[in-house]
């Protein structure tokens, strides 16, 4: 049986609005998610046994069931027992390029790649929608990472509506190695500071869902109006994360001074990104920031917006 190599794209949030609590314990969200061409490379092959093995070149990535990619493989084994009995377990090797704990969905993208890779390896013939529904069992970002591109995500992030591709935009991603932010902490802290607007009644959440503020940026994406897109960038987590990490505030200001179209924090942090309309401009901004800050703790990458989340590589 052959092996498969897959590229798992990172994601950024062009828009993230927190509506309130849901009855199932998650949060009601309105997000615009975008795949970018910073990718992890995963190799998936038969293990020759009934064992799942995970290896990764990054020391902070676990190799046990706490790894979302491992759980994705376990899910495939339990959902398709006949295929598991026929083909056995898998070896999964992760060549990590997406930074860890960065708000870029690196773990979710790896899980999505495992779902797609094992579908191919086991000749299951699953549709993209079936893979997305499997991903819902693993995490809110996994369905989007299967689909990729540009999408409006609602519910807890699993309800996806595709939007037109923004293939003419580039992004500069910046992540301080030492700054790692817990998503659980971010949600808890946001809830505590935003008591008045934080909706907890499911009926009110449904009504409020008709009034979320994502309409202008959705329309701007539909018309590919980059100026309006950057004006409408929003991340509710910034109000609780940025006061705790002044270096992220300073980094956003550096991006603005360098001439970026717009800048925002992705997810619950701690990656700050800047948008440009060309790779040359993105490369220039990256170089300017590196020279100005000269900080070995700061890593920067340039990537183009991607129309897909998972790519099968040669």
Helices and strands per DSSP (H, E), number in the chain:
12, 12
Catalytic residue among 40, 141, 165, 236: 141
Instruction: Answer yes or no: is 155 a known binding residue.
Output: no
Instruction: Answer yes or no: is 148 a known binding residue.
Output: no
Instruction: Answer yes or no: is 103 a known binding residue.
Output: yes
User: Burial code of 176-212, b = ≥16 C-beta within 10 A, e = fewer?
Assistant: beebebeeeebbebbbeeeeeeebeeeeebeebeeee
Contact criterion met (CB below 8 Å) for 20 and 198:
yes
Q: How buried is residue 58: exposed, middle or buried, by Cβ count under 10 Å (0-12/13-18/19+)?
A: middle
Instruction: Answer yes or no: is 81 a known binding residue.
Output: no
Instruction: Answer yes or no: is 151 a known binding residue.
Output: no
Instruction: Answer yes or no: is 139 a known binding residue.
Output: no
Question: 295 an active-site residue?
Answer: no
Question: 141 an active-site residue?
Answer: yes
* Distance, CA of 311 to CA of 314 (rounded, Å): 10
Instruction: Answer yes or no: is 101 a known binding residue.
Output: yes
Instruction: Answer yes or no: is 106 a known binding residue.
Output: yes
Instruction: Answer yes or no: is 107 a known binding residue.
Output: yes
Residue 229 DSSP SS3? helix
Q: Which residues contact 184 (CB under 8 A, 6 or more apart)?
A: none
Active-site residue set = 11, 141
The annotation places the binding site for ATP at 99-109
Binding residues, as ranges, are: 99-109
């Amino acid at each position: 049986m052959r092996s498969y190599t897959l590229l798992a794209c990172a994601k950024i949030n062009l828009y993230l609005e927190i509506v309130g609590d849901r009855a199932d314990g998650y949060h009601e969200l309105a997000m615009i998610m975008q795949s970018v061409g910073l990718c992890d490379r995963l190799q998936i092959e038969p293990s020759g046994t009934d064992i799942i093995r995970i290896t990764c070149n990054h020391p902070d990535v676990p190799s046990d069931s706490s790894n979302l990619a491992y759980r994705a493989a376990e899910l495939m084994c339990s959902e398709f027992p006949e295929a598991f009995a026929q083909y056995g377990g898998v070896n999964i090797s992760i060549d990590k390029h997406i930074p860890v704990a960065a708000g870029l969905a690196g773990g979710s993208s790896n899980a999505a790649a495992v779902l797609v890779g094992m579908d191919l390896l086991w000749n299951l013939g699953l549709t993209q929608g079936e893979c997305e529904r499997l991903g819902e069992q693993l995490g809110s970002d996994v369905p989007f990472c299967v689909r990729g591109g540009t999408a409006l995500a609602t519910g807890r992030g699993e309800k996806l509506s595709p939007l037109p591709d923004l293939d003419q935009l580039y992004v500069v991603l910046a992540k301080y190695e030492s700054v790692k932010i817990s998503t659980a902490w971010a949600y808890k802290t946001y809830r505590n500071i935003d008591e008045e607007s934080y909706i907890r009644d499911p009926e009110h959440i449904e009504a409020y869902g008709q009034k979320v503020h994502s309409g202008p940026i959705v329309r701007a994406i539909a018309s590919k109006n980059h100026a309006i897109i950057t004006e409408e960038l929003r991340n509710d987590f910034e109000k609780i994360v940025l006061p705790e990490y002044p270096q992220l505030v300073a980094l956003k200001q550096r991006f603005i001074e360098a001439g970026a179209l717009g800048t925002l924090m992705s997810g619950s942090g701690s990656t700050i990104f800047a948008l440009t309309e060309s790779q040359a401009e993105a490369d220039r901004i990256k170089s300017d920031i590196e020279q100005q800050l000269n900080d070995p703790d700061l890593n920067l990458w340039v990537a183009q917006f991607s129309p897909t989340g998972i790519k099968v590589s040669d």
